[in-house]
């Protein structure tokens, strides 16, 4: 099955917006092994829309359109689809009734303009109910066998119809075959090293079965399998086991949606231990990431953001002479920050970060990107010096990532 995606909306041709709906549609296609051949964006112009729908319907078996189903005059997808496919439009009274009920539930009368949303193309057409908004979706089957879905552009309305309608439609046509994947997320290892480590798996499992996606100090390794339930399970279990073996302790989760801070939080909660932070160059980013996790108050006590030497002394008890002799960005100060935070703020673990995020403040011996990290735990204080390349934001993000990954390794005893 050859599929195309069409996003409709002049705003999607601007400098500010991208068609992110296509990512959700692509996810559904991939899950059922359908190949996406092209993506197209056109504005709210009838001629362009008619031409696009006509071409896509001629060249593909499945065309997924999002946007342009609203009630206003620049919502043209219904009319353009009807014209492109040589169909007529007629008012569907049952949709009008639905819309009236919907508005009434909010204590309002249905504006006349919304009648446009009840126009349905002739021929083989299925109306897709919208539980989250006023625009119903439409499924149009052409004599050629091509199916077009017209979905609303509002993301959560689209998502509702993907789940209620598109996925079951794809499942029915997949012959029991589905695509599924396992994910291993790696922190603190460059992409090139990940590639090197998993090289044997490429040979054993097939190059196209494995994909590597690099983020900021985080690499996602995915293995994909297409087949029946039993086939997939076997392939994926083998792939997951092999990749885990090759990547070792660098894997922090096997769940695509689990963040490093969530893993650290889970480990702390499991052990019933607490954490505090002491941050200079990251300016609160480590604490902010830890507290993104719902329930983090169970283990996170708080932290100190200490931009000045005065606050490093006052809040963390860093000795003035260490600051004088070694400077704020140094191993002794990082260690003193971590130990001081653990003692003064009272927790089982403390993370400390001090560094030069740039763009200024660097020197020959301590260039921009120099960061000292320390972890104080129940038995010892560890330290690591890193030199990151990149701009201020990148240095800060990498620092926070290494800080969290360092704690995770210590919590799992790596």
Residue 328 CB contacts under 8 Å (≥ 6 apart), including other chains: 280, 309, 312, 354
Cβ pair 342, 349 in contact under 8 A: yes
Choosing from 269, 311, 381, 386, the residue that interacts with a copy of itself (CB under 8 A) is: 311
- Residue 73 interacts with a copy of itself (CB under 8 A): yes or no: no
Handedness of CA 55, 58, 62, 65 (dihedral sign): positive
- Residue 287 interacts with a copy of itself (CB under 8 A): yes or no: yes
Choosing from 77, 259, 282, 330, the residue that interacts with a copy of itself (CB under 8 A) is: 282
Structure tokens at 354: 């001090």
- Residue 195 interacts with a copy of itself (CB under 8 A): yes or no: no
- Residue 288 interacts with a copy of itself (CB under 8 A): yes or no: yes
The radius of gyration of the chain from alpha carbons, rounded to an integer in Å, stands at 28
- Residue 359 interacts with a copy of itself (CB under 8 A): yes or no: yes
Q: How far is the CB of 256 from a copy of itself (least distance, A)?
A: 10
- Please give the distance of CA 201 from its chain centroid, rounded to a whole number: 26
**Residue burial 172-199, b: 16+ Cβ < 10 Å; e: rest:** eebeeebbbbbbbbbbbbeeeebeebbe
Cβ nearer to a copy of itself, comparing 71 with 361: 361
- Residue 179 interacts with a copy of itself (CB under 8 A): yes or no: no
Q: How far is the CB of 249 from a copy of itself (least distance, A)?
A: 25
Cβ pair 357, 337 in contact under 8 A: no
Q: How far is the CB of 198 from a copy of itself (least distance, A)?
A: 18
- Residue 55 interacts with a copy of itself (CB under 8 A): yes or no: yes
Structure tokens at 373: 């990290």
Cβ nearer to a copy of itself, comparing 136 with 224: 224
Phi, psi angles (nearest 5°) of residue 206: 100, 135
Q: How far is the CB of 321 from a copy of itself (least distance, A)?
A: 20
Q: How far is the CB of 283 from a copy of itself (least distance, A)?
A: 3
Phi, psi angles (nearest 5°) of residue 3: -120, 150
Choosing from 233, 234, 346, 412, the residue that interacts with a copy of itself (CB under 8 A) is: 346
- Residue 376 interacts with a copy of itself (CB under 8 A): yes or no: no
Listed residue (191, 183, 194, 195) closest to 224, CA to CA: 183
Cβ nearer to a copy of itself, comparing 136 with 265: 265
- Residue 60 interacts with a copy of itself (CB under 8 A): yes or no: no
- Residue 36 interacts with a copy of itself (CB under 8 A): yes or no: yes
- Residue 295 interacts with a copy of itself (CB under 8 A): yes or no: yes
Token match 């006052």: residue?
314
Task: Give the span between the Cα atoms of 258 and 249, in whole angstroms.
Answer: 16
End-to-end CA distance of the chain, in Å?
Answer: 47
- Residue 268 interacts with a copy of itself (CB under 8 A): yes or no: no
Task: Give the span between the Cα atoms of 82 and 57, in whole angstroms.
Answer: 12
DSSP state of 111: P
Q: Which stretch binds a copy of itself (CB under 8 A): 153-161, 232-240, 370-378, 388-396?
A: 388-396
- What are the angstrom distances between the C-alpha of 293 and each of 160, 262, 279? 26, 6, 19
Residues 7-26 that bind a copy of itself (CB under 8 A): 12-16, 18-20, 22-23, 26
Structure tokens at 408: 């995770």
- Residue 255 interacts with a copy of itself (CB under 8 A): yes or no: no
- Chain residues that interact with a copy of itself, rule: CB under 8 A: 12-16, 18-20, 22-23, 26-27, 30, 36-43, 45, 48, 51-52, 55, 59, 213, 277, 279, 281-288, 290-292, 294-297, 300-308, 310-311, 314-315, 345-346, 358-361, 392-393, 396
């Amino acid at each position: 099955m050859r599929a195309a995606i069409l996003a409709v909306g002049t705003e999607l041709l601007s400098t500010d917006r991208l068609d992110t709906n296509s990512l959700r549609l692509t996810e559904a296609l991939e899950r059922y092994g359908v190949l996406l051949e092209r993506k197209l964006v056109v504005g709210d112009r009838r001629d362009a829309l008619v031409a696009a729908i006509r071409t896509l319907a001629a060249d593909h078996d499945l065309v997924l359109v999002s946007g342009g189903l609203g009630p206003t005059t620049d919502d043209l997808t219904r009319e353009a689809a009807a014209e492109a496919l040589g169909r007529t439009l007629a008012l569907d009274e049952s949709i009008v009734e639905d819309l009236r009920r919907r508005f009434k539930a909010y204590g309002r009368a249905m504006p006349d303009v919304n009648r446009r949303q009840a126009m349905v193309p002739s021929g083989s057409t299925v109306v897709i109910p919208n539980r989250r908004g006023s625009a119903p979706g439409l499924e149009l089957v052409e004599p050629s066998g091509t199916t077009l879905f017209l979905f609303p552009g509002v993301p959560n309305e689209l998502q509702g119809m993907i789940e209620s309608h598109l996925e079951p439609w794809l499942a029915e046509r997949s012959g029991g075959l589905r695509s599924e994947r396992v994910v291993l997320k790696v922190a603190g290892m460059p992409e090139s090293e990940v590639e090197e480590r998993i090289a044997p798996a490429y040979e054993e499992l097939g190059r196209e079965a494995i994909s590597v996606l690099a983020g900021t100090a985080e690499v996602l390794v995915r293995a994909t399998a297409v087949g029946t339930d039993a086939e997939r399970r076997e392939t994926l279990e083998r792939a997951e086991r092999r990749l885990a073996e090759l990547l070792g302790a660098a894997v922090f989760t096997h769940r695509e949606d689990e963040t490093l801070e969530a893993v650290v939080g889970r480990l702390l909660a499991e052990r019933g231990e607490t954490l505090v932070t002491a941050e200079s160059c990251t300016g609160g980013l480590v604490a902010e990431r830890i507290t993104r996790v719902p329930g983090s108050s169970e283990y996170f006590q708080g932290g100190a953001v200490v931009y000045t030497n005065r606050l490093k002394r006052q809040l963390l008890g860093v000795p003035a002479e260490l600051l004088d002799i070694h400077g704020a960005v140094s191993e002794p100060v990082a260690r003193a920050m971590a130990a001081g935070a653990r003692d003064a703020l009272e927790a089982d673990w403390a993370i400390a970060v001090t560094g030069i995020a740039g763009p200024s403040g660097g020197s020959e011996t301590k260039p921009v990107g120099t960061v000292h990290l320390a972890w104080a735990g129940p038995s010892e204080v560890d330290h690591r010096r890193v030199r990151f390349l990149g701009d201020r934001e990148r240095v800060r993000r990498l620092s926070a990532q290494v800080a969290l990954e360092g704690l995770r390794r210590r919590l799992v005893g790596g």
